[in-house]
Amino acid sequence: MRPSSVIAALIATALLTFAPGVGRVHAIEITYLAPPGEPARAFPKPERPVAEIVSPSRSTERQRDAFDESGQLARLLAIRPGMTVGDIGAGSGYHTVRLSRLLGGGGRMIAQDVTQEYLNQLAERIKRLKLSNVGLALGEPHDPRLPAASLDVAILVHMYHEVAQPYAFLYNLAPALKSGARVGIVDLDRPTSQHGTPLELLRCELAAVGYRQIALHQLAGDDAGYLAVFSPPTHAERKRPRDIVACKTADR
């Protein structure tokens, strides 16, 4: 992306998020917030199935509220007012809308997704709810395309098994995280072909890029899944694309 395109993208997103003319959401394309990182071809492909993108959400919001999924994430990840949180694979924005209220006027929520249609629908929802601290960002399957050192916390909820290029995606996500930031991944401990990610596989794929697991929680609630918390690698700790070795799994 040329510098002029980057500036145009940033202005478009600022307009979309903060301008009184936010009603014109469809007139402004929701686009990338940062230039491309490393291309997918530099990384190994995952040696396991990748689940198809089939829906912008997991179960109903009512079911999720019954066990306070968003509140659990906020507590376990110590999300506080004033922080910047990235909802990567935000879909219909279950966590985006709830966490944006917690972050308050001094904080910022970045709802990111690879499916433009889901982002358009989420833009309407944000407008309807008058949430002024939410920005929208388009990503690519191998690259979240988020600004450098912008996030205190990234949440990846029921989406990791759909990431087509996990090694490139994790590599390109790392620079968007501030020093001391955490990545919280929520998923079900079952094969990727069944819309989950076995814990051993998750740990292996994150470690392959240089992420370190720092906590693991079982979320309270029926079929709520796990929350695995990782610390991203620094620039020096991040594995070089050619040194990354794909993890093996029995799930094929």
Ligand X SMILES: C[S@@+](CC[C@H](N)C(=O)[O-])C[C@H]1O[C@@H](n2cnc3c(N)ncnc32)[C@H](O)[C@@H]1O
Chain positions contacting ligand X, by CB under 6 A: 53, 55-58, 88-91, 94, 112-115, 118, 139, 141, 157-159, 162-163, 169
Q: Which is nearer to ligand X, 83 or 94 (CB)?
A: 94
Q: How many CB atoms lie within 10 A of CB 141?
A: 16
- The residues, any chain, with a CB within 8 Å of residue 231's CB and separated by 6 or more, are 181, 182, 183, 211, 212, 214
Q: How far is the CB of 149 from ligand X (least distance, A)?
A: 19
Q: How far is the CB of 75 from ligand X (least distance, A)?
A: 17
Q: Which is nearer to ligand X, 19 or 190 (CB)?
A: 190
Residue nearest to ligand X (CB): 91
Q: How far is the CB of 188 from ligand X (least distance, A)?
A: 11
Q: Which is nearer to ligand X, 24 or 75 (CB)?
A: 75
Q: How far is the CB of 58 from ligand X (least distance, A)?
A: 5
Of the CA atoms within 13 Å of residue 82, those in its CB half-sphere come to 0
Q: Which is nearer to ligand X, 32 or 169 (CB)?
A: 169
Q: Which is nearer to ligand X, 129 or 180 (CB)?
A: 129
Among the listed residues 50, 224, 69, 60, the one whose alpha carbon sits nearest the alpha carbon of residue 142: 50
Amino acid at 104: G
Q: How far is the CB of 48 from ligand X (least distance, A)?
A: 15
